[in-house]
Amino acid sequence: MPPSKNDNKLYSVEKTTFWFAIASVGLLVTLLLMLFQDHDREWKYYQREFVKLEREKTQEKLDEIIKNVNMEQLQRLKEELKEANFDFKQKQDQYNQLVKEKESIQLPLISAKNRYQDLKQYYDSYKFFFEEDNEAGEQKEAKAYQEKLEKTAVSLETAKEEMERLEKKQEDIDQAIRDLEAEQKTLTDKISAKLRDQERYQKKLEKLKPSVVKELLNAPMLDFMVPTLQIQQIVLEDLNDDFFFAKSNKIDRCTTCHLAIDQEGFEDAPQPFRTHPSLDLFLASNSPHPLEKIGCTVCHSGSGQSLSFTWAAHTPRDEVQAEEWKKEYHWHELEKWEAKMLPLQFTEASCTKCHQGVVDIPEAPKINHGRQLAREFGCFACHTVKGFSAEGGSASGGEGAWKVGPSLLNVKSKVDSDWMIRWLQAPKKFRASTRMPSVFHLENTSDQESKTLSNAGIKGISRYLMIHSGEVPLQSPPPKGNPETGQALIKEIGCLGCHSAEGVHVNDRGPELTGLGSKVSADWLYTWLKDPKHYSPETPMPNLRLSNQQAADITAYLLQDRNEAFESTGIPEVKEADVDQLAMSFLIGRMRESEAEETLSAMDADAKLQFVGKEMINRQGCFGCHDIQGFENAKRIGTELTKEGQKEITKLDFGFVEIPHSRQAWFFQKLKHPRSYDKGRVKPYQDKLRMPDFGLTDEQAEALTTFLLSLRTEDIPLEMQRQLNLDEQAIEAGRFLVNKYNCQGCHTLDGVEGRVRSLFEDLGNAPPVLDGEGAKVQEDWLFEFLHAPSTIRPWLKYHMPGFGLSEDELNALIQYFALLEHQKVSFAPSDISTDQDILTAGRQLFMQFKCIQCHQSAESPGLTASFLAPDLVISKDRLKPQWVVEWLKEPQRLQEGTMMPTFFADGTTPIADVLDGDWIKQIHALRDYMWQLTEEQAEAIKSANLAAKTN
Amino acid sequence: MAELIKHFFNQISSPVMMFTLGTGLLFLFLSFPGQLTAPKVAGPLGILVVAFFIFGLTDEHFKMIITTPDNVPIVMMLFIMLYFTWYAMRKATVNDMRMAEGKGPLEKEESEQKVLVFPYLIFIEFVVALFYSIMLVVWSLALKAPLEDPANPSISPNPSKAPWYFLGLQELLVYFDPWIAGVLLPTLIIIGLCAIPYLDRSPKGSGYYSYQQRRVWISGFLFCFWMLWIVLIVLGTFLRGPNWNFFGPFEVWNVHKVVPLLNVNLSEFVFIKWLGWGLPSQWYLRELPGILLVLAYLLIPPAMAAKTFCKKAFQEMGAVRYAVAAFLLLMVIAVPIKMYLRWAFNLKYLVAIPEFFFNI
């Protein structure tokens, strides 16, 4: 029995019903909310906006096309068409007749075709049975089938004839109709061709127009069918996303919002609709990185499957942009997403995922710069990075590079201990451009106690180095040097190919040549200049083949420059107690305090000094860059950086430094202020951070950060990586050597302009361009030349130095030059004609073209350097015969801007009476003549010329 | 001012303070249930708790922890627990007052009415189910599933936290060996829960709320559930940060926080600190003090209680039931005792026999 209304009961139907009503409405509202939230997606707004933008662009394009259409022409065409239509009307009867005829032929044609096909089937079937029975020996049946076969063959033939007759007739009629319509049709085609673009854009515009149907298709609950707003995705079959326990194809949905990323024409559109800035390199289907094969996130990183601004893991380039994004997109940092997008300035860090084993990655200046800096600053001397050797070689370049700093094995012969102490205090004070980092008195060691201990350490280092140094005999400059000549020589002889000097900074491979008067003695410098390997067999400094006088002049000049400020720096006083304290701090790290005290008291003052020196060298890892006695097998001191680019953020100690918690921010700060993470920390001297300060510029730090970010191991399938074939590997090996020996410091080569060449007004005096060298010179000549350079262009003051290349290096370079020009390396002798007639013709041409006038063995008065050319007598040993032919044909093609005249312009010859005026034959004759030209002959020709001139 | 309040709460939420304060509050609550559950008192107290959370939301860090989608249910649990504790206690005290006046409990009156399950109860349940659905939908609309990176087996998150319902046990790992915190204690909890109907066979309070008639059991239950389960879960969720370090509710979780963790075994206290003999080499000698202490803890108090203030209970329950109940109760109390020993004396283990992996 339902309880009555007014009872004070535990339940009330009215109340329950009331709440039921509320709940129902509530549920409905939540359902709508659910639908709305499901429907309301960030990317849809972008797609709608893009449709608008696309319409605007299409409209613009259409307007432009309409404007460009030649209205007059169009009008004329239309009138012609009208006339044609009129003409056609005249022939209407004829046309109708033809059409009727064609219709009447249809039925007979079809039945003819059918009949033919029927008969053909019977014929084939009889043939089969006849062959079978005949083969099986069933003579009777075979006979029967044969008869049938023959009978059918006859009917088949008739049927075919009938069919073909009808077909032909139909074709004739068709042709007649076409003839009638021809004029009309041509005109219509012409008109539509004129309007084709216009129509295309009109159609597109039509498609982009908003409509009710579209709205319906995109409406909630209906958008499962064919919505016009759709998630766009690229499934990359060959690339994987690694979810640790499973791998799946990489899926990039970036194009859902970046809708025009691979379309031209949106270069100035607002984001996210802007076109990719370099379509010829990325995304375009004919580029090396097509969108459908490479996608987006493999380079940019980030979460390719996400569809919202924040969850795609966009990363701002700096704090300012971060603030902007927070306002505009409600962006926040994704703390837990590892593979965040690389900020734009570091995107090149991804190039190394696929491009390995190359010295420089094409079109990736920042990562290349970063890697070059890492090599130059000796990062690998302290930090292990797999694929980069300690001496800065890359995996492709192999071993045999130098340590970054000079060898200190004979340092006693070069500098004194006072200089060393001043230098270690602050290397940049002696030479602002030095790559030697500041090690002492930095921000975490600038308190008084640390300074005292550092000074004790510095004194110890200098003591240790002086004691553990060999000595080399030095020569004094025999003639007295002339500083002015020296100054000129520095500029002229090739020093600037590696060194900065005189305010000229085109090269900085070697140290800048300043303040040497405060550093080294005349004897040392003279000996060094004469033969650098005498002092230090491992030095990268090549031998410039200086005469005694030249060496003396340069010595005199360089020693003139003294660094007074540096010299006047005081040598800090070091008390024995300081040394003791420092020594103790090293000792207690490895033994008990009492034992340490005992050990210390067993040493005399000098031993203590040497001890702290050795320990300090050990602590700072000086041996990474310098050869030092006693540290031949020392281990690198730095953290291994092989996977630094994917190190967990929590493993990076940000200390009390207020920077964003990201890898790039940490790296940048560490590079710019290596000791800053010690700020506010309580640490004993020996535990403080020890990375030295290289004084990097922001730009350098950014490049190095890019390099560090590139140090990750990523699972890219081999077939997706850039694989070098054998030739390319050989070329890379050569590039490594070219970089190592700084060939491009002087020579233009491999797409890089020789750096000293900018200093020359007359490029004829500059070191030669080596582009095309591999096609030009013979392999054995190149081998000999690189091994021991000889003079080719006597007017050049620049000396090609001797680098003391090993045989392996020589061969690698020869291969490099040859392969760059797609040549086969060959040491076979050249096969040249010695036919007397040809040689005579050659000689005649040689005389008439006046080759000897520019190609001379010695400097000749009256000609500027750019007109001078190498002696032709050495050609036969130096040049490749085929190259000479190509060269004579068209010098400008092989070397743009050369002064060599084009004698055979457009395949003609100015001298018609030799060899029938055949230019190819003439060229070969010239070449053949040159191949037997001797020095005496050349001299004879020259004197004859001179005589002719004087007469 | 706000800073001072924050500092105050940071201080009192340290595990030892929180546990002591919580126990004190529970004791207070159980001592004056009638007064404290009165709407006039409980209402303002409830508002105070809400006010604390609202105040907390002004703090960036507190807000982040409270509003993390993972943690929202824990906040809800806290409020729901408070409400139901109040509700049950309120009902119980009202009944107690009625019974003191000689009337029967409310439930008795109510049970005199007869109502059909269908349609009346079913209807009400249906409406409740609707509201529940609304809540779930709104919740899922408001808070996104807190998905993280794909799991990387070589990187463990810091702090690594168990699911919320295991956080109480995880907190116990700080004080006990894994096999105790993770195996023994949960087993005992389950056995204890199973044993309750066999231990407590009193028909009193069956079918109606009453506190006075079941003081001991209700107090015991509330202590176990609130202090050893809810508080530990809350502590584990909100106050344990990176490296399982303790952080106050208004303290920023600094990954690099370092706190001294020097814990000493009882044997070292006895033989090295007090007696100055050095540790005996045989484990049974070394751990003798600890073993004796544990045995004494398990045997003496129940025996003494049986003779004195629990005489009646001992007689009613019989030796076996009494012993089981006493053992379970002692085990429950052992947990806070161990915590206090750790906090007060840095005591690591009472008995530490690494030879057998036996450490308690």
pTM of the model: 0.84
CA-based nearest residue in chain B for residue A12? B120
| pLDDT tens-digit readout, A901-932 | 888 877 788 887 777 778 888 888 888 888 88
Residue A468 lies in a domain: no
| pLDDT tens-digit readout, A301-321 | 998 989 999 999 999 999 999
Query: Which residues, listed in sequence order, are joined to residue A208 by a DSSP beta bridge?
Result: none
Are residues A153 and A75 part of one domain?
A: yes
Would the pLDDT of A526 be above 80?
yes
Three-class SS string for A744-781? Answer: HHCCCECCECCHHHHHCCCHHHCCCCCCCHHHHECHHH
DSSP state at residue A823: P
Residue A937 lies in a domain: yes
Which carries the bigger pLDDT value, residue B155 or residue A275?
A275
pLDDT band at A87 (very low <50, low <70, confident <90, very high): confident
Q: Mean of the per-residue pLDDT values for chain A?
A: 87
B155 touches chain A (CB under 8 A): yes
pLDDT band at A400 (very low <50, low <70, confident <90, very high): very low
B133/A27 Cβ within 8 A: yes
CATH of the domain at A851: 1.10.760
Q: Of A291, A326, A353, at which residue does a domain stop?
A: A353
Would the pLDDT of A864 be above 80?
no
A11 vs B124, B126, B155: nearest CB: B124
Residue with tokens 């309007």: A195
Q: How many domains does chain A contain in total?
A: 4
Residue with tokens 């906040």: B75
Task: Report whether A421 contacts A481 (CB < 8 A).
Answer: no
A3/B115 Cβ within 8 A: yes
Please choose, from the candidates A414, A535, A408, the residue with its C-alpha nearest in 3D space to the C-alpha of residue A468.
A408
| pLDDT tens-digit readout, A716-764 | 888 888 888 899 989 988 998 898 889 999 999 988 888 988 888 877 7
Residues of B in contact with A243 (CB under 8 A): 150-151
A297/B27 Cα distance (integer angstroms)? 60
pLDDT of residue B118: 85
Q: B315 CA to chain A: closest CA distance, Å?
A: 42
Q: Of A212, A243, A260, at which residue does a domain stop?
A: A212
| pLDDT tens-digit readout, A121-173 | 999 999 999 999 989 888 888 899 999 899 999 999 999 999 999 999 999 99
Residue A197 lies in a domain: yes
pLDDT of residue A397: 38
A interface with B, Cβ–Cβ below 8 Å: 3, 9-11, 13, 16, 19-20, 23-24, 26-27, 30-31, 33-34, 37, 243-245, 336-338, 648, 650, 653
For A179-212, give one letter per residue: b (16+ CB within 10 A) or e: ebeebbeebeeebeeeeebbeebeebeeebeeee
Q: A18 CA to chain B: closest CA distance, Å?
A: 10
Are residues A203 and A80 part of one domain?
A: yes
Would the pLDDT of A392 be above 50?
no
Domain that holds residue A759: 724-820
Q: B243 CA to chain A: closest CA distance, Å?
A: 12
pLDDT of residue A857: 65
B133 touches chain A (CB under 8 A): yes
What are the distances in angstroms from CA A807 to CA A429, A785, A812, B167?
Answer: 41, 13, 8, 70
pLDDT of residue A3: 45
Which carries the bigger pLDDT value, residue A856 or residue A210?
A210
Please choose, from the candidates A856, A721, A724, the residue with its C-alpha nearest in 3D space to the C-alpha of residue A796.
A856
CA-based nearest residue in chain A for residue B121? A11
B130 vs A23, A37, A338: nearest CB: A23
Residue A759 lies in a domain: yes
B124 touches chain A (CB under 8 A): yes
pLDDT of residue A10: 67
Over residues A348-358, the mean pLDDT reads 90
Does A910 sit behind a cis peptide bond, omega within 30 degrees of 0 on the bond before it? Answer: no
Residue A304 lies in a domain: yes
Over residues A208-225, the mean pLDDT reads 89
Residues of A in contact with B131 (CB under 8 A): 19, 23, 26
Are residues A806 and A737 part of one domain?
A: yes
A244 vs B115, B133, B152: nearest CB: B152
Residue A447 lies in a domain: no
Residue A402 lies in a domain: no
Residues of A in contact with B120 (CB under 8 A): 11, 13, 16
Task: Report whether A846 contacts A926 (CB < 8 A).
Answer: yes
Would the pLDDT of A858 be above 70?
no
B111/B287 Cα distance (integer angstroms)? 59
What percentage of residues in chain A have a pLDDT greater than 70? 96
A16/B124 Cβ within 8 A: yes
Are residues A877 and A795 part of one domain?
A: no
A30 vs B110, B123, B137: nearest CB: B137
pLDDT of residue A393: 43
Are residues A855 and A946 part of one domain?
A: yes
pLDDT band at A1 (very low <50, low <70, confident <90, very high): very low
Q: How many CB atoms lie within 10 A of CB B32?
A: 13
> Could you list the pLDDT tens digit for every one of the 360 residues in chain B?
888 999 999 988 888 888 899 999 999 999 998 889 999 999 999 999 999 999 999 999 999 899 888 899 999 999 999 999 999 999 999 999 999 998 888 888 888 877 788 888 899 999 999 999 999 999 999 988 877 777 878 778 888 888 888 888 898 888 888 888 889 889 999 999 999 888 888 888 888 999 988 888 899 889 999 998 999 999 999 999 888 888 999 988 888 888 887 788 888 888 888 888 888 888 888 889 999 999 999 999 999 988 888 888 888 888 899 999 899 989 888 888 988 888 888 888 888 888 877 888
Are residues A779 and A841 part of one domain?
A: no
Are residues A944 and A899 part of one domain?
A: yes
Please choose, from the candidates A592, A615, A579, A608, the residue with its C-alpha nearest in 3D space to the C-alpha of residue A690.
A615
Task: Report whether A83 contacts A230 (CB < 8 A).
Answer: no
Q: A648 CA to chain B: closest CA distance, Å?
A: 8
B134 vs A3, A9, A27: nearest CB: A27
A234/A254 Cα distance (integer angstroms)? 9
CATH of the domain at A182: 1.10.287
Are residues A205 and A72 part of one domain?
A: yes
Residue A440 lies in a domain: no
Please choose, from the candidates A555, A496, A352, A538, the residue with its C-alpha nearest in 3D space to the C-alpha of residue A797.
A496
Are residues A851 and A816 part of one domain?
A: no
CA-based nearest residue in chain B for residue A24? B130
ipTM score of complex: 0.81
Q: Of A324, A353, A382, at which residue does a domain stop?
A: A353
Over residues A265-288, the mean pLDDT reads 90
CA-based nearest residue in chain A for residue B127? A20
pLDDT of residue B309: 83
Over residues A379-384, the mean pLDDT reads 89
Q: B156 CA to chain A: closest CA distance, Å?
A: 11
pLDDT of residue B295: 94
Which carries the bigger pLDDT value, residue A28 or residue B359?
A28
B135 touches chain A (CB under 8 A): no
